[in-house]
Amino acid sequence: MPKAMLVDITECVGCGVCSEACKKEQKLPGPVGKKKDYANYTVLREEGDDVYVRELCMHCTDPTCASVCPVSALHKTPEGPVVYDFDLCIGCRYCMMACPFGVPKYEWQKPIPKIKKCIMCYDTRIKKGLPTACSQACQEEGGGATYFGERSELLAEAHRRIKENPDTYAPHVYGEHEVGGTNVMFLAPKDRPFESLHFNTKLPEEALPELTWQVLNKIPVIVPVWATFLTGMWWLNNRKTEVEENEGSKKIRDEKHGEGEND
Amino acid sequence: MTKPKFKFTFWRVVAALILIAGAVATFQRFVYGLGYATHLSDDFPWGLWIGFDVISGVGLAAGGFTITAIVYIFNLKKYHCIVKATVLTAFMGYVLVGTALLWDLGKYYDIWHALVFGNHHSAMFELAVCVASYIGVLALEFSSIALGKFKWLRKPVKFLKKSYILLVILGVLISTLHQSSLGTLYVIVPEKLHPLWYSRLLPIYFFFTSIGVGLGMTVVESYLSWRGMGHEAPLPVLANLVRGMVVIQLTFFVAMFEGLIVSHKLGYLVDGSFESGMWWLEMALWVFIPTIIAFRKKWMMTRFGVFAAGFSGVLGFLMNRLNVSMTAFQWSAKVKYVPSWQEMAVSASFVVVSFIIFAYAVKYFNLFHEEDEESIEESAVKAV
Ligand code: SF4
Ligand code: SF4
Ligand code: SF4
């Protein structure tokens, strides 16, 4: 069953222990930054009125990054995390172009750069059945806003909260349906709905890889048709010349040929 | 053939300076990395090297499949005289595109992964496979055309010529796939591309307009080789290519404009933004100017008129591909991207290199001269 995280923005106090725990777990250099980059997989976005929003990879159910990667260096694990394999990566940066949440980052300063993004502590924790470093730190030392668990259970919990406290929560679970659903989900305060917190609320509910697939799956259909047409045209047009050569005198043939060219 | 002695002309000095700058930039890029040598960033990961060298480059080399299809599949033999030149430029173009990609890829030495560890859901995988196999097809096409002059190669060349039509059909098929897949690359970013350029039909637009630019490029190349070396294809042939290009551009324009109407995007055309200005400029060069020239009989009788129409079409095409890859994307990115001098130097170096190769090829392979023994269907050609 896929693991997931739920961030209840109403409970977040902006202490930042999540980002610190992430740095330690993933051995990322430097102090905690304000923007996601190669050394910061998760950061806090300040939205005023003591509202803080965590930014991190959403671990989409049908990840755009993995679908565009030509070599499958990014892939979705059955446990939920979307992980990265540097050995396969060719550094084309299509994943950065395509991710609807602007998550994958690059080691621009290095001659041989890696793609860097949150991998939901896949190797060190999820595989062993442990919760992510950020959620554990948040529950134990922070404000207790980031929860870890089964996606279905967290989703049920989110809806329960909205139903029981309609005055506290905006009536939407961000990540339930966005781009086909994500494994990181958010709850927003009633007076600060997601639009006002710089969430992209215009994303379609259909998974984006479907857009490309609708094009690519036509290829096996088009190729035989197109090949038949081209071969047929070749046969037709060259046969015309052949017939003309056998039946007419040279002069007539030349005239006819001239007409044929102008169509 | 007269071989002029090497002279320091103005253009040669310019070319040399560009190549030197390109070499310095190359050193910086491979030693200090992309961050040092380019103005790319997390917010703008694809710049000039993808937009110009790859996306535009593949398009500009489309003459290869366009002209071979016209001559061998549609049997319009009077265009046979330009086959050699276009197949050569296509071959050269694709090899250069493949090479230029090495500058942009972070792990350039693993470029072959794209062919081995393919993810068939990725448009880029499709692109990689098609471009690689098309380079192979073009190499065979080109050898059958050009290597006939070497005696010891006669036998394999003869065999290639027999199967030439297969190569042509294969080439058209593969080109259809990868010209369109350049557009497919952008189908997955509906949020990020400016509405004037985003369309789910991008793959079709990209394929269709590549035919147009294939014709336009052929005209431009022929004119340049006439200016430089006095070799060229007959003017009526080139004028017809321009007319073909105009028909394609107009058809595309109507289809694309209908798309803007039904998706209620016309407002973006007159909002006075930078993007709308770029769109109008693109359309002027790509569609309006070539059309106006093509419908003036007098202008189409002159070498310069024909060239101007073709050149405008090529420029418009370039603008379109750069607009899709940079202008339209920048609209949603948080940063303004202007290529660094290193990026420009490397891209310009590739242009210079292609000019040099082309100039030598025109001389060495007698590009615009028809030789009877080289045509595959001799009787048909003689009939023309
Ligand atoms: S948020 Fe972006 S990087 Fe993360 S899984 Fe989704 S598409 Fe991939
Ligand atoms: S940069 Fe690497 S991970 Fe990203 S799409 Fe390219 S090959 Fe895949
Ligand atoms: S640790 Fe928890 S409470 Fe603290 S900033 Fe992170 S999410 Fe918010």
SS (H, E, C) B205-235: HHHHHHHHHHHHHHHHHHHHHHHHHCCCCCH
Q: What is the pLDDT of residues B248-293, one digit of tens each?
A: 999 999 999 999 999 999 999 999 899 999 999 999 999 999 999 9
Range of the domain at A104: 3-207
CB B49 within 8 A of CB B104: yes
Q: Which region among A10-14, A243-247, B144-148 has the lowest average model confidence (pLDDT)?
A: A243-247
Contact B106 A113 (CB under 8 A): yes
Residues A132 and A239 reside in one and the same domain: no
Residues A68 and A118 reside in one and the same domain: yes
- Max distance between CA atoms of chain B, in angstroms, equals 65
Residues A173 and A203 reside in one and the same domain: yes
Q: B383 contacts in A (CB within 8 Å)?
A: 241, 245, 250, 253-254, 257
Residues A146 and A244 reside in one and the same domain: no
Q: What is the pLDDT of residues A51-87, one digit of tens each?
A: 999 999 999 999 999 999 999 999 999 999 999 999 9
Pairing mode, strands A184-189 and A52-55:
unpaired
Nearest to B171 by CA among B163, B27, A173, B81: B163
Q: Report chain B's mean pLDDT, rounded to a whole number.
A: 88
The full DSSP string for A64-121 is HHHHH-TT--EEE-TTS-EEE-TTT-----HHHHH-TT---EE-TTSSS--EE---TT
Mean pLDDT, range B333-350, rounded to an integer: 94
Q: State residue A72's pLDDT score.
A: 95
Q: Which long-range contacts (CB under 8 A, 24 or more apart) does B289-297 make?
A: B289/B316, B290/B216, B290/B242, B290/B245, B290/B246, B290/B249, B290/B316, B291/B246, B291/B249, B291/B250, B293/B242, B294/B242, B294/B243, B294/B246
Locate A86 and state its tokens: 């540097």
CA pair distance A81, B187, nearest whole angstrom: 25
CATH number at residue A59: 3.30.70.20
Total domains present in chain A: 2
Q: Is the per-residue pLDDT at B120 higher than 80? A: yes
| Amino acid at site B379 | S
* Alpha carbon distances (Å) from B121 to A62, B52, B105: 12, 25, 20
Q: A66 contacts in B (CB within 8 Å)?
A: 119
Locate A89 and state its tokens: 């990566």
Q: Give A179 Cα–ligand 1 centroid separation in angstroms.
A: 10
Give the closest-approach CA distance of B110 to chain A in angstroms.
Answer: 6
* Structure letter (DSSP) for residue A15: -
Kindly indicate the confidence band of residue B311, based on its pLDDT and cuts at 50, 70 and 90.
very high
Q: Is the per-residue pLDDT at B376 higher than 50? A: no
Locus of tokens 């109403």: A10
Residues A258 and A146 reside in one and the same domain: no
Q: Is the per-residue pLDDT at B365 higher than 80? A: no
CA pair distance B249, B292, nearest whole angstrom: 12
Residues 6+ apart with CB under 8 A from A151: A1, A2, A3, A4, A80, A183
3-state secondary structure (DSSP) of residue A147: strand
Residues 6+ apart with CB under 8 A from A98: A64, A65, A67, A68, A208, B188, B189
Instruction: Pick the most confident of A17-26, B216-225, B231-240.
Output: A17-26
Burial label for A252, CB within 10 Å (0-12, 13-18, 19+), is: exposed
The ligand whose atoms approach the alpha carbon of A84 most closely is 2
Q: What is the pTM of this model?
A: 0.89
**Phi and psi for A46 in degrees, rounded to 5?**
-85, 125
Q: Which long-range contacts (CB under 8 A, 24 or more apart) does A79-82 make?
A: A79/A2, A79/A3, A79/A122, A79/A126, A79/A127, A80/A2, A80/A3, A80/A4, A80/A120, A80/A126, A80/A151, A80/A183, A81/A3, A81/A119, A81/A120, A81/A121, A81/A122, A81/A126, A81/A183, A82/A57, A82/A119, A82/A120
CA pair distance B303, B305, nearest whole angstrom: 6
Q: Which region among A63-77, A229-243, B331-345 has the lowest average model confidence (pLDDT)?
A: A229-243
Residues A123 and A20 reside in one and the same domain: yes
Best residue of B38, B42, B169 to probe chain A, by most A CBs closer than 10 Å: B42
Which sign does the torsion angle of CA B242, B246, B249, B255 carry?
negative
Q: What is the dihedral of CA B334, B338, B340, B346, to 10 degrees?
A: 120
Pocket (CB within 6 angstroms of ligand 3): A 12-18, 44, 52, 54, 137-138, 142-143, 145-146
Nearest to A26 by CA among A15, A11, A36: A36
What is the interface pTM, i.e. ipTM, of the complex? 0.88
CA pair distance B141, B146, nearest whole angstrom: 9
Locate B117 and state its tokens: 């560890």
CATH tag, B41-383: 1.20.1630.10
Residues A203 and A225 reside in one and the same domain: no
Report the chain B residue with the minimal C-alpha distance to residue A210.
B188
CA pair distance B121, B332, nearest whole angstrom: 25
Residue A149 belongs to some domain of the structure: yes
Q: Does B379 touch chain A (CB under 8 A)?
A: yes
Residues A225 and A198 reside in one and the same domain: no
Residue A8 belongs to some domain of the structure: yes
Nearest to B319 by CA among B275, B356, B355, B362: B275
The full DSSP string for B244-270 is HHHHHHHHHHHHHHHHHHHTT-GGGGG
Torsion region of A192: left, alpha or beta (phi above 0 gives left; psi -120 to 50 gives alpha) = beta
* Structure letter (DSSP) for residue A196: G
Residue A213 belongs to some domain of the structure: no
User: Degrees (nearest 5) of the Cα angle A173, A176, A178?
Assistant: 105
CA pair distance A213, A224, nearest whole angstrom: 19
Contact B121 A67 (CB under 8 A): yes
pLDDT, greater one: B256 or B78: B256
CA pair distance B54, B97, nearest whole angstrom: 5
Residues A33 and A54 reside in one and the same domain: yes
Domain boundaries, chain B: 41-383
Nearest to B63 by CA among B267, B218, B250: B218
Q: State residue B184's pLDDT score.
A: 95
Contact A211 B113 (CB under 8 A): no
Locate B29 and state its tokens: 């890029």
Q: State residue B6's pLDDT score.
A: 59
CB B79 within 8 A of CB B69: no
CA pair distance B178, B172, nearest whole angstrom: 10
| Amino acid at site B91 | F
Residues A30 and A87 reside in one and the same domain: yes
Kindly indicate the confidence band of residue B375, based on its pLDDT and cuts at 50, 70 and 90.
very low
